Amino acid sequence: MKVYYDIQAFEGVEKPIATIGTFDGVHLGHKKIISRLLEIKRQQGGETLIFTFDPHPRSILFPEQKDLKLITSTDEKIGLLEKMGIDHVLVFPFTAEFSGISADSYVRDFLVKQLNIKTLVIGYDHRFGNNREGNIETLIKYSKELNFGVEEIPAQDIDNINISSTRIRKALEEGDIKTANTYLGYTYFFEGIVVKGKQLGRTIACPTANIEIKETLKLIPQIGVYAVFVTIEGVVYKGMMSIGMNPTTDTDGLIKLEVNIFDFDRDIYGSRIKVQVVERLRNEEKFSNLEELKARLALDKENSLKVLSTSQQLSA
């Protein structure tokens, strides 16, 4: 798969079969659209293209809204699309200037002149151009003049996609990992860098890897303790993760992500690891002393192993 961050670099692609959208999460609803692109490719030839955006359009169009959280970072989204067999991904830099171009310029200059679209698969509610003046009817009109095909995704499918995205975000915020994973069609995950913490876990026989996530909009599940799979250098380990403020030992009020990787004893500071979140075990608790905390962590490990032993590591 080829990835482009500059539209000028996108050239020489044979009969692009494209769709446009944020594709946050690349969940089961999105996969219906992607499957249709792949089906058209099998029937007619050509190469598949996802035209997506970074930053998320909402962060530019509604900067006053501070509640935007994303199911997948751009890099995670690209990885998921590659696994699905997409040929090309164009990550377009969304700006206020871009949002203000006319519908005519959007179709003529972007879709036809620069992307050379041959088939466009789009939702019934897709709007584009200044003041969102363009819609599916606009595309159908231009398709006849400019010689490209347009296929509309049924309203029910688009509604299901929007509902799925909302349900996934809500489920993650509530710690309902099972629901989120069901709608995603894979195990929710994030990637981060291992950084040094207080190293208190070593003193209670529960060393943890402190995870720093660079993507500030990445949606982190509700505070609590979770059973997780951890991938380090291609090897998958079982573990448990704490998301919270560590009220027993810390007073800084900062939320931390710490993973205890079972049967693992290596220095991985500075390494990038992947954490797949399988199930929420419990709320965060404040214990009277370290011995109570140690006993609870031992029980958490036991419960994590039970969950993970009967869970599949569902990749996208």
pLDDT value at residue 313: 65
> How far is the first Cα of the chain from the last one, in angstroms, to the nearest whole number?
16
pLDDT value at residue 283: 95
pLDDT value at residue 223: 97
pLDDT in tens, 75-119: 999 999 999 999 999 999 999 999 899 999 999 999 999 999 999
pLDDT value at residue 200: 61
pLDDT value at residue 299: 95
pLDDT per residue of the chain (316 residues) written in tens, 0 to 9: 999 999 889 988 989 999 999 999 999 889 888 999 999 999 999 999 999 999 998 898 888 888 899 999 999 999 999 999 999 999 999 999 998 999 999 999 999 999 999 999 987 778 888 888 988 899 999 999 999 999 988 767 777 777 788 899 999 999 999 999 999 999 999 999 999 876 665 555 578 899 999 999 999 999 999 999 999 999 999 999 999 988 777 778 789 999 999 999 888 999 999 999 999 999 999 888 888 888 989 999 999 999 999 877 666 5
pLDDT value at residue 161: 76
Q: Which fold has domain 2-169?
A: Rossmann fold (3.40.50)
* Residue 247 · residue 286 · CB < 8 Å: yes
* Residue 134 · residue 162 · CB < 8 Å: no
Domains of the chain: which residue ranges?
Answer: 2-169, 187-309
Question: Which DSSP symbol is given to 12?
Answer: -
Say what angle helices 177-184 and 155-173 make with each other, to 10 degrees.
150
pLDDT value at residue 293: 86
Q: Which amino acid is at 14?
A: E
Whose CA is closest to 82, among 139, 16, 140, 23?
23
Note the CATH number of domain 187-309: 2.40.30.30
SS3 of 231, please?
Answer: strand
Say what angle helices 28-44 and 177-184 make with each other, to 10 degrees.
10
Q: Which amino acid is at 100?
A: G
pLDDT value at residue 314: 64
**How far is Cα 67 from Cα 241, in angstroms, rounded to an integer?**
24
Query: In which residue are the tokens 């690891």 written?
Result: 273
SS3 of 285, please?
Answer: coil
**How far is Cα 97 from Cα 155, in angstroms, rounded to an integer?**
29
Question: Which DSSP symbol is given to 154?
Answer: P
**How far is Cα 68 from Cα 277, in angstroms, rounded to an integer?**
21
pLDDT in tens, 217-231: 999 999 999 999 999
* Residue 226 · residue 278 · CB < 8 Å: yes
pLDDT value at residue 92: 94
What stretches of 133-200 adopt beta strand conformation (E)? 149-153, 189-195
β-pair partners for 225: 242, 282
Question: Which DSSP symbol is given to 185?
Answer: T
**How far is Cα 175 from Cα 280, in angstroms, rounded to an integer?**
6
pLDDT value at residue 202: 59
Whose CA is closest to 14, among 119, 153, 145?
119
